[in-house]
Structure 1
C-alpha cells in the first residue's frame, strides 16, 4: 500500500500547507545523500574496529608467545577471550541500546575499549594480559551489534538494505587492514625496556594499539552524530525525531531545515511503558520487558532463524580465520605445493609431536612473510563480496542472495580440503570466507523482522549466539587440525549450506513504492 501524506492549511496555493506524516514517510522525504554516506562510513569504522580488535590476537599471539611464555593450550583459550567477552556482554549492550539510546551506548563503549586496548599493550604477563583483554572485549562488544540497528534506523526503507550492506563491507576492510598492519609492524625489530613493569615494549604491543585506530576515528565521528530518529520516536520523543529527520534533509538537499515539507509526525500507539520498580528491580524488570517478547510468537521463529544462521556463519568464518595464520605458516614451511592442506597440516603435527621429546627448546616468534601476503589476498576476496552483495541486494533481494551465497561458499569450503594444488586450495578458502559478508545481510533482515522497541536486543542476542559459534568453531577447528583435519572442512562447509537452506524461510520483502506528494510539496532529493 502506498503511504499517504496528510496536508493541513487554508492557503489555496499550498505554499503554507503543513504536512503530517509517519516517520517512515518523513524519512523518505529526507532523501539520500551526503548525510547517509557519512553516516555509513562512521558505522563502517565501528565495524572495522570491532573486527580488528576481535581478530588481532590471531597475529599477535604467535609474535607474543616468547614474551608471555605461551603453550599451545594457552594460545587456544587466549585467542577465544575476545569472543567470550562478547558472548558475556552482548545481552547487556542490547538492553542498554534499547533503553538508553544507540548513540551514547556505542560512544561510551568505544572510548573505554580504546583505553582498555592501550592498557592491555602494557600487560607484563599472561594473567594480566588475559584479564585486560577480557575487560576490553566487553567494551569492544558495544558497537558490534548496535551499529547494525543504528545504521538501519538512520536510513529510509528505500536505501536501508544497500547502506547496511555497504556499511558491513568495512568488516571486510578490517580483515584487509589487520594483516597489512601486522605485516608492517610485527617484523619491526625494536625493544624498549620498561623497568617499572618488568617488560620490553616490542612490536606486538604496538600492533594492538594501532588496531584500535578505527575506533578512534569512529568515536570522533560519533561525538558529532545524532541519535536514531526511530529510537527517539519509539520512546515518545516525536519532536526530537522530526528534528533529526530535518537535519538529514538539510544536509542531503543543502536547503534550509524550515523548507522540509513535513511539519509534524503522526503519533502512533507506543509500546513503551514506564517502569514501576526502582533500583535493581527496575533493571531486571526492564530486561525482562525487553527480552520475553522476542521469545514469544510471532518473533520466536525469527530470533531462532537469525541465531542459527549467525552461529553457522561465525563458526565457519571467524572460527577458521583465527587459525588461518597457523594454516598458512604450515603451507609456507611445506616443501611441496601439490599436497592437500590437511596433508601438510598433519605432517606438521607429526613434526611438532616429535619435537616434544627434545630437552632444549628455542622460542621462535617469527611469522613467515607469505602468511601476511596470502592473508591479504583472502581478505581482499572477502572484502569484494560486500560490494557484490551491495550491488545485487536491490535486484535479487536479501533472501535469494543469502541462500545463493551461503550454499556456494559452503561448497567451496569443502572444495578447499579436496583441492590437491595449494594455490587452488587458498583460492577456494578465500571464497569460503566470503560467507562472512552475509552477516550484514542477516542483520539487515533483522531490522525488518523485529520492531524498534526490541530490535537492538534481538540483533545483539543473535550476534551473541554468532560469537558463541566463533568460540565453538575456533576450538573445534583447533582440535580437528590435530585429530582429523578434513572433518573440520566438511563440518563447517556443510553447516553453511544448511544455513543457506534455512534462509529460504525468510519472508519476501517488496520494495517500497514512491510516495505521491501534492504538487506544492518539494520532491525528495534524488539519489546521489
Structure 2
C-alpha cells in the first residue's frame, strides 16, 4: 500500500489513506487549534518576560547586589547570551527527543534556577544562577514556534503563528504591569542562613516564572507534535492525536475520523547521509557556506547587519527603559535633557542611592512602560495592515529612518513628555524585525532560507547583548553618545534597505511565504 513514502496506484483514491498534511486538513480548524495557540502564546510570553525582567530587577537590586551600571548591563545581557550559545543544541534535541519533551524539561528546570536566583546573596551567584535559568529558558524559545505551527493545517498555519507571535507584544505590557504590582511593595524579610533580606525585586523574579509554571501544567496534558510523531515512525500515536483534534474541532466522535493509515515519511535515506557528529557538521557547513559566496553574500551581510542594528537598539535600550524612566520620574526641578537627569542621578551619594533602591521605583515608571508596550503592540498591527499595500521595502526605509532620527532628537528634547514620546517612537524600530525576516525569506532560495533566517536572527541576538552592554557603558561615561550611536545605526540600516528589491520583485523567483516570517520579536 505504501512504498517509499508513496501510495500504491490501486489505493491512491482511498480516503482512509493520506499524507500527514492531508490528514491535518481533515481535522478542520476550531477550538482545539485556538486553545493550542493560547498555550504556545503563554509559553512565548514566559520567554519574553524571563528575557526582559532584568530591566526591572536591576534598578531595585543595585544596592543589595552592589551593582555598577556596566555590571547591570552584563547581567541584563545574560538571557541573550544563553540563547546565542544554546539555540542549536535545543533545536537538535527537539528534533531527536520531541518538542513537548524539550519544553517540559527546560521550563521546569528554568523555573527552579529562577527561584534559586531570587535567593542569591551576591552578584556572582546571582549571575551564575540567572545564566543557568536562561540556558533552559532558551529551550522553549527555540521550540515553541515549531510546536505551534505543527498542530495547525497548512490553510491556517501562518495565521495561527502570527496570532501566537502577538504574545510577544502582550508580554511587554504584562511585565511592567506585574512589576508595578510588586516593586512598590514595602517588605523586607530576613533570611539569616543566606545573609539576605527578601525584598520585592526577588519576588518579581519568581512572579515572572508564572507563565512557565502554568505552561508546564497545561503541557503535561497536551500531546506531542503530530509532525514529530510521524517523522519518528509513530504513525499510530500520530493518528491518535489527529483523531483528538478532529473530535474537538468538529464535536464529533473520534471513530468517525476518515483517515486510518498515514503515508510514512521517507527520511531514511537522508538520515544515512547525515549520521553522527561529522555528518551533522558537514550538513551545517553545506547549508551555511553558500550564504557567504556570490550571489548570496551581499544579501547575507545586509540582513545580518540590519537585524544586528535593530536588535541592538530596541532590545539594548529596552533593558534600560525602567532606569531611564525612573530617573525622569524622580527628577525634581526645572525640566532638562534625559542625559542631564541621568548624570545627576548618578552623582548622588551612596545613601541617596540606597533610599532609591528601597522604595522609589516611581509608579510613573511602570505607567510609561505600559504605554510604550501598547504603542509597540499597535505598531505591529499597523505594519501588518500596511505591508500588503505599500510593500516591505518602503516601510523598512521610512520606519527605520524616522525612528533613528527620533532617537537622536530624544537626546536634545528638554520637555520630559516630548523626550519620552520621541524615545517611545525610537523603540518602534523593533517592529521591523518581522519584516526583515519576511525579506530574508524572499531573498534566499528555499534550500538555504531557514539557515539564512537563523543566521540573521542569531546576529540580532548578538546585537541585543552588545547593545545592552554598550548602552550601560555609555550611560556611565557619555550618555549622549548612546543616542547618537544607535540612532545613526538605525539610519544606516534604513539606507541599506534602499538596496532591497522593490515590491513583488527580487533575485529569487516568487514563492509562497513561509511561517518563518512570523517569528517576529524575541526581543529575544
- TM tier relative to shorter chain: 0.7 to 0.9
Specify the alignment match of 1:373 in structure 2.
367
What secondary structure sits across from 2:271 in the alignment? coil
Specify the alignment match of 1:87 in structure 2.
84
Structure 1 stretch 226-235 or stretch 82-91: which is displaced more?
Answer: 226-235
> Do structure 1's residue 58 and structure 2's residue 52 form an aligned pair?
no
Distance in 1 of aligned mates of 2:484 and 2:350: 38
Specify the alignment match of 2:216 in structure 1.
219
Tell me the CA shift for residue 114 of structure 1.
Answer: 0.7
Specify the alignment match of 1:294 in structure 2.
287
Matches within 5 A, 1:164-183: 164-183=161-180
Aligned residues: 492
Distance in 2 of aligned mates of 1:413 and 1:104: 43
Tell me the CA shift for residue 470 of structure 1.
Answer: 0.7
User: Residue 202 of structure 2: which of 187, 200, 205 is its match?
Assistant: 205
What root-mean-square deviation, in Å, do the aligned CA atoms of Structure 1 and Structure 2 show? 3.9
Tell me the CA shift for residue 394 of structure 1.
Answer: 7.5
> Do structure 1's residue 28 and structure 2's residue 25 form an aligned pair?
yes
Matches within 5 A, 1:91-130: 91-130=88-127
Tell me the CA shift for residue 82 of structure 1.
Answer: 2.3
Tell me the CA shift for residue 290 of structure 1.
Answer: 5.7
| Cα gap change, 1:179 to 1:153, in 2 (>3 Å) | same
8 Å Cα contact 2:316/2:467 also seen in 1:
yes
User: Residue 191 of structure 1: which of 179, 188, 191 is its match?
Assistant: 188
8 Å Cα contact 1:330/1:345 also seen in 2:
no
> Do structure 1's residue 244 and structure 2's residue 235 form an aligned pair?
no
Distance in 2 of aligned mates of 1:454 and 1:236: 27
Tell me the CA shift for residue 49 of structure 1.
Answer: 0.9
Distance in 2 of aligned mates of 1:383 and 1:295: 34
User: Residue 483 of structure 2: which of 476, 483, 489 is its match?
Assistant: 489
Distance in 2 of aligned mates of 1:272 and 1:475: 43
Specify the alignment match of 2:519 in structure 1.
none
User: Residue 158 of structure 1: which of 155, 161, 164 is its match?
Assistant: 155
Which runs of 5 or more residues in structure 1 are unaligned? 513-528
- Cα deviation 1:18-48 (Å, max 9, x = unaligned): 2544433433333222122112111111121
Specify the alignment match of 1:317 in structure 2.
314
| Cα gap change, 1:276 to 1:330, in 2 (>3 Å) | closer
Specify the alignment match of 1:259 in structure 2.
256
Q: Structure 2-normalised TM-score?
A: 0.80
Distance in 2 of aligned mates of 1:130 and 1:511: 40
What secondary structure sits across from 1:131 in the alignment? helix
Distance in 2 of aligned mates of 1:246 and 1:27: 10
Q: Structure 1-normalised TM-score?
A: 0.79
Matches within 5 A, 1:368-447: 368-388=362-382, 406=400, 409-410=403-404, 412-417=406-411, 419=413, 421-439=415-433
| Cα gap change, 1:290 to 1:46, in 2 (>3 Å) | farther
Distance in 2 of aligned mates of 1:34 and 1:234: 26
Distance in 2 of aligned mates of 1:492 and 1:464: 19
Distance in 2 of aligned mates of 1:323 and 1:445: 29
Tell me the CA shift for residue 388 of structure 1.
Answer: 4.1
What secondary structure sits across from 1:193 in the alignment? strand
Tell me the CA shift for residue 445 of structure 1.
Answer: 7.8
Tell me the CA shift for residue 428 of structure 1.
Answer: 3.5
What secondary structure sits across from 2:354 in the alignment? coil
